[in-house]
Amino acid sequence: MKIKHKKAVLVISIAACIIIIYLCTITGAASVSLSDANRILLNRLFHIPVNLNGISKGSISIIWNVRLPRVLLGFLAGASLAVCGAGFQGIFRNPMADPFVLGVSSGAALGASIGIVLHFNGNFLGLNGSTLLAFAGAFASIILVYQISRVGKKIPVTTLLLSGIAVNQTLTAVISIVMLLNKQSMDQIMYWTMGSLNGKGWNQIFTVLPYIVIGVIILLLSSRELDIMLTGEDTAIQLGVDVEFLKKKILFASSIITAAVISVTGIIGFVGLVVPHVVRLITGPRHKKLMPMSLLAGGTFLIVCDTAARSLMNQEIPVGIITAILGGPFFLYLLKNARKGGIS
């Protein structure tokens, strides 16, 4: 009965995600009727020979080239960041850890800032311009943190966390210097650091998808080892887990995912912090359930936030602001509980 219940919950969750993706696709500031939106989706997405006569090219472009890819990219980004958050929280054994705790975000921001200032136009593995430098900066920052934290062949979790915070602050200071020295690019850099899905399309989805798929598969296959890690490193070693290899694997997979996502979307914070923690309260700490449900919840959470960001006002709000407004108070709640001993 329990197995049937778990499958039912998963099926219902997937169905709910599909419905929300559909609702967010047909919702927006531009007026496209429900009937027209449905016909466009049936024709373009499912290749059903539905007559599109009477529907303007503008409406077709809005649904197929603007809203749908933006919603799908938002789902991929939110799902990825939430799964990475669950992985980091498992490694650190702390629900206040998230994908940006090791300086990945500031490394990406510095790379993007340099690309914006230099008007860099490069291309490698589907990444181009500032996106390429943002990806390189994110990955370079995690390598730097790893090298600083390594003690022999081991990576102490506390040292890793403190090194990440130090590198994060240092790179943030460098970004500030870059902006002060290049005031003409300051607005563009600041907008990038707020995080946004505006203007993103199918190209960005196909660019980040391989990195996300590889990284998420690695994280999902590590669920059992992460469950054992919750008992403590010494116990995990006694039970046959290669703890140091597990840390490297989680760091590598999470860094690839996070670097790919934020190189395209900019910095979208708090998704990897809030979503896994809320899901953990519902499903429990076992990563076999926690990670898939975090994936679905994270994707849903971000596309709802993005839909609100582009629909609530005449001027679009960067989605990173919406997630920060929701995630900031929740983070303070976690800190308050931690002081009371409510978080272990």
Q: How many residues does the chain have?
A: 344
Q: Which of 237, 96, 113 is nearest to 165 (CA)?
A: 96
Residues 6+ apart with CB under 8 A from 51: 39
Residues 6+ apart with CB under 8 A from 160: 102, 145, 146, 149, 247
Q: Is residue 57 a contact partner of residue 42, using CB atoms and an 8 Å limit? A: no
CA distances (Å), origin 7, targets 4, 11, 79, 122, 204: 5, 6, 20, 46, 32
Tokens 């039912």 belong to which residue?
8
CA 90 to chain CA centroid, nearest Å: 17
In angstroms, the CA 273 to CA 234 distance is: 26
At 53, list the tokens. Answer: 């006569």
Backbone angles phi, psi at 341, to 5 degrees: 85, 15
**Could you tell me the pTM of the whole model?**
0.89
Our CA dihedral for 91, 92, 97, 103, rounded to 10 degrees, sits at -80
**319 and 309 Cβ atoms separated by less than 8 Å:** yes
User: What is the pLDDT tens value at each position of the chain, 344 positions in all?
Assistant: 456 666 788 889 999 999 999 999 998 877 888 999 999 999 998 888 888 888 899 999 999 999 999 999 999 999 999 999 999 988 888 777 787 888 888 898 899 899 889 887 777 666 677 788 888 888 899 889 888 988 877 888 788 888 888 998 899 999 999 999 998 888 888 888 889 999 888 989 998 999 999 999 999 999 999 999 888 888 888 988 888 899 889 988 988 898 889 888 988 988 998 899 889 888 888 999 999 999 999 999 999 999 999 887 778 889 999 998 887 787 777 667 755 554 44
Residue whose C-alpha is closest to residue 243's, from 257, 218, 226:
226
CB 226 within 8 A of CB 287: yes
Q: Are 271 and 327 in contact (CB under 8 A)?
A: yes
